[in-house]
Amino acid sequence: MAPLNDESLWPCCILLGRVLLPVSDQEPWRRDRRHERLRAWEIPVDEAERLMALFMALTVRTTARDKALSTTDLDSLPLQTVADVTTTKTDIELLASLPNSHTTVREEQEAALLRLYARQGGQRSRWLFQLGIEVRRSLTVLIQRSQNEPATCGKLVRDAVEAGLDPRP
């Protein structure tokens, strides 16, 4: 199998990032608690959730590249492996996986904001660490919820489709 190329990999990663929170928030109280934590950390909720989607996309991309996965392997990538990367890679290592060009203005703005936070240090850098914890928390929910089928990136997409989510920009 040929390794994933950037043209096919990044859109798959963006899709996974966009469906993570809605799929993990099957119980509305999960979203409410996340919002409470974000407000306690003084992170704007809308901004945080957009950055969490990008953080997830970068984590999946970093994991896929590190493991030299093929196109067909991405569906079987365990969410536990992705969750582990959220805590083992630094912001800078994840940012190294950010593509040079983006498909939407929104994606470009989110990428610029993520770069800015990583460079600023201080509270903004702490925000990125906390957002990584929230991404891991959402992944853990999906892993624990998955009983009949292994928790994989492919299952996350199937769960999103079953929930009627449209992850496109």
As a whole number of angstroms, the distance between CA 60 and CA 159 comes to: 17
Structural domains of the chain, count: 1
Residue 62 lies in a domain: yes
Residue 169 lies in a domain: no
- 61 or 90, greater pLDDT: 61
Residue 103 above 80 pLDDT?
no
Using the predicted structure, report yes or no on whether residue 162 has a pLDDT greater than 50: yes
Residue 1: inside a domain: no
Residue 142 domain boundaries:
6-162
In a domain, 167, yes or no: no
- What per-residue confidence (pLDDT) applies to 71? 65
pLDDT digits (tens, 9 = 90+) for 112-139: 888 888 887 777 778 888 999 999 999 9
Write the secondary structure of the chain as one string of H (helix), E (strand) and C (coil). Answer: CCECCHHHHHHHHHHHHHHHHHHHCCCHHHHHHHHHHHHHCCCCHHHHHHHHHHHHHHHHHHHHHHCCCEHHHHHHCEHHHHHHHHHHCCHHHHHCCCCCCCCCHHHHHHHHHHHHHHHHCHHHHHHHHHHHHHHHHHHHHHHHHCCCCCCEHHHHHHHHHHCCCCCCC
Lowest mean pLDDT among 15-24, 52-61, 85-94: 85-94
**Stretch 35-64: mean pLDDT, rounded?**
93
* Domain annotation covers residue 74: yes
The whole model's pTM is what? 0.88
Question: Does residue 168 belong to any structural domain of this protein?
Answer: no
pLDDT digits (tens, 9 = 90+) for 21-39: 999 999 999 999 999 999 9
134 domain residue, yes or no: yes
In a domain, 52, yes or no: yes
